[in-house]
Amino acid sequence: MSTFVEVFGTEPDGVWQAPGRVNLIGEHTDYNDGLVLPIALPNRMVVTASARDDGTFAVASTVLDGVVEFSLDSLQPGSVEDWAAYPAGAAWILREAGYEIGGANLLVDSDIPFGAGLSSSAALLCATLVALLGLRDIEVDPAEVARLAQRAENQYVGAPVGLMDQMASMCCTEGHALYFDIRAMTTDQIPFDPAADGLGLLVIDVKAPHRHADGEYAARRQSCEEAAAQLGVPALRAVEFDRLDDALARLSDDVVRRRVRHVVTEIRRVEDAVELMRAGRLREVGPLFTGSHVSMRDDFEITVPELDVAVDTALAAGALGARMTGGGFGGCIIALVEETAEDQVFAAVEKAFAEHGFTPPTSLAATPSPGASRLS
């Protein structure tokens, strides 16, 4: 791995980090004006940077070859492709928003597996944004940085992502989950410290390729929008859990009905999880995780065999609860486990994967970690 000085021939001015995230519960609720509950991971994107005043950016990644250069003036959506589209998008959105950022050399280093649904993309954008702002001593509210990161990913990279990942990367705090209400645009820090209760949160990457994920995501969004239109509400958040049966009876299509049932019950599960966490009853959150998985498997239909096998096996091996997390069709599961059972749960999943002929899974321990910051 090359150092900053080896790549750019100058000393860095500072180092910034932004973490990946995992969502505890609240899946496919964001574009329904719903509720989500992510934590920041200890795995993070680290950006080492030096300022330059020639309006040029040079970016390199420790896991990829070469240095990509672009000038601030010539940036427009699509002008820089592949991985460098993320730092280019960060520079572009800051220019669009009127910040004077000059130019910079940036070296990106990360221990967030990418493409696993742990949001390396949002972490890369957030880390680049805080580095570029930090180099110029410009202070911006973390939630505003998150919105800039989202706009960069939507408009520059061209990915129709919501705001959860960026908010998690910017606003999470150690030992807490971030309760983010998308309709109200409010956040709350919810105590979540599994280790303090003798528990662990295991993240298992099931290494399944994201089959048709983009098309399926668009289809799910469309079903939700159609249902909201049929019900005469701005978004499915407006459907009350206690009146769900009435709403379902008014929908003509059975598939759409099941999609709605997932969204409405999932929003309720987020509220229930938050209540339990506030009351310090962490173990009881487990069954909500499992209920969420069942809902995504049967009603929202976004799981794949690897995710279902991982969840079923984790539960059979003693997990208190388990669910797929992220957009679905691959990615990761999370399992809430007694600390003493962490190894046995992961070993059981490894064994089951071998028996099914799946790619071996990997795991990481998800300690609720702080959001983006300057490291030096």
Interface residues with Mg ion (CB under 5 A) are 121
* Shortest distance in whole angstroms from residue 38 CB to Mg ion: 13
Handedness of CA 97, 125, 21, 169 (dihedral sign): negative
Which three-class secondary structure state does DSSP give residue 231? helix
Q: Token pair for residue 358?
A: 């799946």
Question: Does residue 121 bind ligand ADP (CB under 6 A)?
Answer: yes
Nearest to 143 by CA among 118, 163, 116: 163
Nearest to 90 by CA among 153, 137, 48, 47: 153
Q: Residue ranges of the alpha helices (H) in 82-212?
A: 85-96, 120-135, 142-151, 164-171
Question: Does residue 158 bind ligand ADP (CB under 6 A)?
Answer: no
Question: Does residue 255 bind ligand ADP (CB under 6 A)?
Answer: no
- In the bound state with Mg ion, the residue whose beta carbon lies nearer, of 168 and 263, is 168
Taking contact as CB under 6 A, which single stretch among the options 113-121, 258-266, 339-347, 348-356 is the one that binds ligand ADP? 113-121
Question: Does residue 124 bind ligand ADP (CB under 6 A)?
Answer: yes
Handedness of CA 262, 265, 269, 271 (dihedral sign): positive
Other Cβ atoms within 10 Å of 187 Cβ, number:
17
Question: Does residue 120 bind ligand ADP (CB under 6 A)?
Answer: yes
**Is 197 annotated as catalytic?**
no
Which three-class secondary structure state does DSSP give residue 369? strand
Contact flags string 325-364 toward ligand ADP, x per CB under 6 A: ----------------------------------------
Q: Token pair for residue 304?
A: 């794949």
Query: Exactly one of 109, 165, 205, 299 is catalytic; which is it?
Result: 165
Q: Residues in contact with ligand ADP, total (CB under 6 A)?
A: 16
Q: How far apart, in whole angstroms, are the C-alpha atoms of residue 40 and residue 21? A: 4
Q: How far apart, in whole angstroms, are the C-alpha atoms of residue 136 and residue 132? A: 7
Q: Token pair for residue 116?
A: 């696993």
Question: Does residue 108 bind ligand ADP (CB under 6 A)?
Answer: yes
- In the bound state with Mg ion, the residue whose beta carbon lies nearer, of 91 and 125, is 125
Contact flags string 266-295 toward ligand ADP, x per CB under 6 A: ------------------------------
169 binds, among ligand ADP, Mg ion, none (CB under 5 to 8 A by kind): none
Q: What residues are annotated to the active site?
A: 165
Q: Which residues bind ligand ADP (CB under 6 A)?
A: 61, 63-64, 83, 86, 108, 110, 114-121, 124
